[in-house]
Amino acid sequence: MLDRIRLALVAPQGLIKYRKDRLIFPIFFMLFFAVLMTVGPIIRVMQFDAVTNETRAAIRENFSFPSADCNIEDAELICDETMRHELFEENIFGLGFSVYLDSHDTYDASAYDTNHIVLNGDTMYISIDEMFIDQQFVEKPISEMHQSIHNLDFNVEGFEQNAFFNAVFNAINEEVSQFRGVWASFTFFTEFISAIILFLIFVSLNAFLIQQRLKEVPFKQMFVMMTYASTLLFVVLIFNNLVMFNFIIFIILLFIGFRQTSRLAFEIQRRIQNAQAIERRLKDEQQNRDDADEQNDDFNQDSDDDEFDR
């Protein structure tokens, strides 16, 4: 595998010699890089210790206070009317969550069609509907959450909102920190599956488009070669997950990554054209030999006829 990576990075033309690899090799190749794609997100999850200032500002700006009189008293949500109210929506480790107050008698996950965090009665519920996962993720009594929200009034104005949001952010920081291991596992799964799907779509589409132009090459062989040739693109995506490149730098690196597959395609085309040229030359030479043999046969036949006449 190391030789395939080396060739893909410095001399993709050399990958042609691996065109007859069994499919298990390029599949394993993509699985290896898909695992590496998860490293950056997992590191960010495990290093989390507090909500960033940017996230705090976004939550405060988008926060929607309920019109009903709602508050948490002794770790239990109490409202003067029955309702479901969305407080805010935020991205947590790559997943978008909507946060709700729910004053119904019981929690009903089917009432929500997105990833959600719900405060209902004396319990917090977290449910995820993402890719292949559809399940209640966490059910936790509010009394076991940060004490700052055991008593919280949702009908605040002016300077009181500062204390309110400090209590909310303290609770968010504690909950996310406690579940870092679970978040890391879930992040690994979602990032890994996303990477596999991305790689398969890109490689298959690239192999299909090039194979339409170079029909002499079977699709399986083209798929194998394009998988290896996409190594630099995989590396760019992995490092972008780690350090989050500037957009312009990212586009430039992507262009360089695509260039490797183009170099391989041009080499395949050159070899096909050379093989076709050699085949045509051999056919021409064979045709010339056949014409010469036919002329010799005609000459010999004329000679025999002259001899018979004499």
Integer Cα distance of 174 and 162 in angstroms: 18
Residue 148 or residue 179, greater confidence: 148
* Most confident of the following: 28-37, 168-177, 214-223: 28-37
Question: How much is the average pLDDT of 108-116?
Answer: 80
Residues 215 and 296 grouped into a single domain: yes
Of 137, 155, 173, the one marking the end of a domain is 155
Predicted confidence at residue 223, as pLDDT, reads 92
Of 99, 131, 155, the one marking the end of a domain is 155
Residue 307 predicted with pLDDT over 80 = no
Residue 257 predicted with pLDDT over 50 = yes
> 248 burial class (0-12, 13-18, 19+ CB within 10 angstroms)?
exposed
Residues 79 and 55 grouped into a single domain: no
Predicted confidence at residue 49, as pLDDT, reads 67
Residues 104 and 252 grouped into a single domain: no
pLDDT band at 308 (very low <50, low <70, confident <90, very high): very low
Residue 31 predicted with pLDDT over 90 = yes
Residues 107 and 6 grouped into a single domain: no
Residue carrying structure tokens 């993720």: 137
Integer Cα distance of 191 and 188 in angstroms: 5
Residues 179 and 299 grouped into a single domain: yes
Task: Give the residue numbers spanning the domain of 310.
Answer: 1-62+157-310
Residues 57 and 177 grouped into a single domain: yes
Question: How much is the average pLDDT of 185-203?
Answer: 86
Least confident of 61-75, 106-120, 239-253: 239-253
Integer Cα distance of 231 and 9 in angstroms: 7
**What's the pLDDT tens digit per position in 265-277?**
888 888 887 877 8
Q: To the nearest whole percent, how much of the chain has pLDDT over 70?
A: 87
Supply angle C-alpha 163, 141, 118, rounded to 5.
70
Predicted confidence at residue 32, as pLDDT, reads 92
Question: How much is the average pLDDT of 141-167?
Answer: 85
Question: How much is the average pLDDT of 81-88?
Answer: 88
Of 155, 189, 209, the one marking the end of a domain is 155
Residues 231 and 294 grouped into a single domain: yes
Residues 85 and 52 grouped into a single domain: no
Domains identified in the chain, total number: 2
Residues 168 and 21 grouped into a single domain: yes
Question: How much is the average pLDDT of 119-132?
Answer: 78
Side chain identity at 2, as an amino acid letter? L
Least confident of 19-23, 78-82, 192-196, 303-307: 303-307
Residues 305 and 228 grouped into a single domain: yes
pTM: 0.66
DSSP state of 132: T
Residues 204 and 305 grouped into a single domain: yes
Q: Residue 132: left if φ>0, alpha if ψ -120 to 50, beta else—which one?
A: alpha
Residues 220 and 256 grouped into a single domain: yes
User: What would the two tokens of residue 141 be?
Assistant: 């009594």
Residue 146 predicted with pLDDT over 90 = no
Predicted confidence at residue 281, as pLDDT, reads 82
Q: Residue 76: phi, psi to the nearest 5?
A: -140, 130
Integer Cα distance of 208 and 226 in angstroms: 10
Element (H or E) spanning 124, and its range?
strand 123-130
Residue 44 predicted with pLDDT over 70 = yes
